[in-house]
Amino acid sequence: MWQGRLRQSSEFVYEIPDDHKEGMRVPGTVFTSERLLDSLLHDDACEQVANVATLPGITGRSMAMPDAHWGYGFPIGGVAATLIDEGGVISPGGVGFDINCGVRLLSTDLTEDDLRGKIGALTDAIFRNVPSGVGSKARIKVTPKELDDILERGAAWAVEEGYGSEEDLFHLEENGQMKDARPEYVSLKAKTRGLPQVGSLGAGNHFIEIQRVDSILDDEAAKTMGVNSTGQIAVMIHTGSRGLGYQVCQDQVSDLGSSFSRDGGSFHSEKYGFSIPDRQLVAAPFESNEAEAYLGAMRSAANYAWANRQLITHWIRQSFSSVLSRGDDELGIGVVYDIAHNIAKVEEHEIEGKRSKVCVHRKGATRSFGPGSEGIPPDYSDIGQPVIIPGDMGTASYLMVGTRNAMSVSFGSTCHGAGRVLSRTKAVQSFSSNSIVRTLGERGILVKAASPKVVAEEAPDAYKDIEEVVRVAEGADLSRRVARFTPIAVIKG
């Protein structure tokens, strides 16, 4: 439990002073509320915020978003930017193991009436067409050369192979392809893990949800993004880079870790000339061979994830078409947006009155760029970047947009979901999968999962209240609500 000082500076902002821990270079900021604070104080997330504040080159503040909870190195929901030209570092712990775990939102021209009596068949079709579960294998076979193409070209590879259209790419963060990916920095072990998993959902908190538009809170922004009316059907996809991304992180953490050794209560690197309070924060100067290797491999894994979600999108379209006996034109399944929430990026932000190049780590956090910002699809420039915030499988999810305020206070970042309050182990001990499926079914939510254990792990009560998380994000002006979605059917690995 957090024992340090936490000073409330406004309704949704709490500060950790920079003298809380020896070596802190900047203060910490936690975006939260009185209702969410208790769960946050009962794990080590705040201490991790303070730990991150010791990283060389960090600028502004070490931050935790409203859904923050304990993670590896950084808290999940952690954001930090390091100055590239002033000794800044990159830390794999600031990205996490599931590189470019992210969310894609699809809009459709369908309504609830179109799915009446067919939701079970549709759910079964998606479950058959999209491999899911622990160790799930892909429907397609790719060669090692094709895998390298995926790592370099991301979603564009999938589109060129016939899985979707060029139009899909316009509404993906980075257009679904990070530049300067270096497949040669991805280990053979990582590639071996990734080869059979291309186009698979995986397990854990990954999901596909068929949703209905429950309410529209900003008509103009919603219509710009193809969300036109309540009762409209949408689909949300949440998955990442599977075993390949995990192995990339593991490889890089191991390689960087060899440069650090225990020095009293911290870990010191003679090679890099700095210390860290937690071995999970191993890092390398941005302008180093080690950083180049990590970034090249991380970008490759990010591209794998975008290709993965593109393939899944194609098979979802096929599932709708086969069950409803309608063509693509009648279904109108389009990409609203696809956003990453475990990634590090080189960006320019205004810091102390001047534009500076920084490496922004977002772990369990998403971009939330305001209107007119570079990197937003042109048709969304006037409203801001779409932000997709999924809730747990029994509650709502939100479509939001970024704000100009977020650009100045959080490097254009906001939360990525509801955030856990119980570990997966504790959830399995506390909840019955059969009871969850039955209760949700009584509420009109169909659940189909590859494993009963996953249902218990992802119990709604294992997560924070999405309504409160979103209230804080909007109250702190990190992102603004546009539309609310509720689940009709949930597919879990």
Residues catalogued as catalytic: 416
- 317-320 long-range contacts (CB < 8 A, ≥24 apart) are 318/129, 319/122, 319/125, 319/126, 319/128, 319/129, 319/130, 320/108, 320/110, 320/122
| 3-state SS assignment for residue 395 | coil
- The H or E element that residue 470 is part of is helix 466-475
Of 103, 206, 193, 194, the closest CA to residue 151 belongs to 194
| 3-state SS assignment for residue 266 | strand
Separation of alpha carbons 428 and 42, rounded Å: 20
Please count the CA atoms within 13 angstroms of the CA of 116 that sit on its side-chain side: 5
Q: How many C-beta atoms lie closer than 10 Å to residue 443's C-beta?
A: 9
According to DSSP, the residues that pair with 340 across neighbouring strands are: 102
Separation of alpha carbons 261 and 258, rounded Å: 8
According to DSSP, the residues that pair with 79 across neighbouring strands are: 63, 362
Amino acid at 475: G
How far is residue 135 CA from its own chain's centroid?
21
Strands 342-351 and 207-216: what pairing?
unpaired
Contact 184, 332 (CB under 8 A): no
Amino acid at 68: A
Separation of alpha carbons 367 and 386, rounded Å: 9
| 3-state SS assignment for residue 212 | strand
- The H or E element that residue 15 is part of is strand 13-16
Radius of gyration of the chain measured on its C-alpha atoms: 21
Contact 278, 335 (CB under 8 A): no
- Residue 195's contacts (CB-CB under 8 Å, 6 or more residues apart) are 142, 144, 147
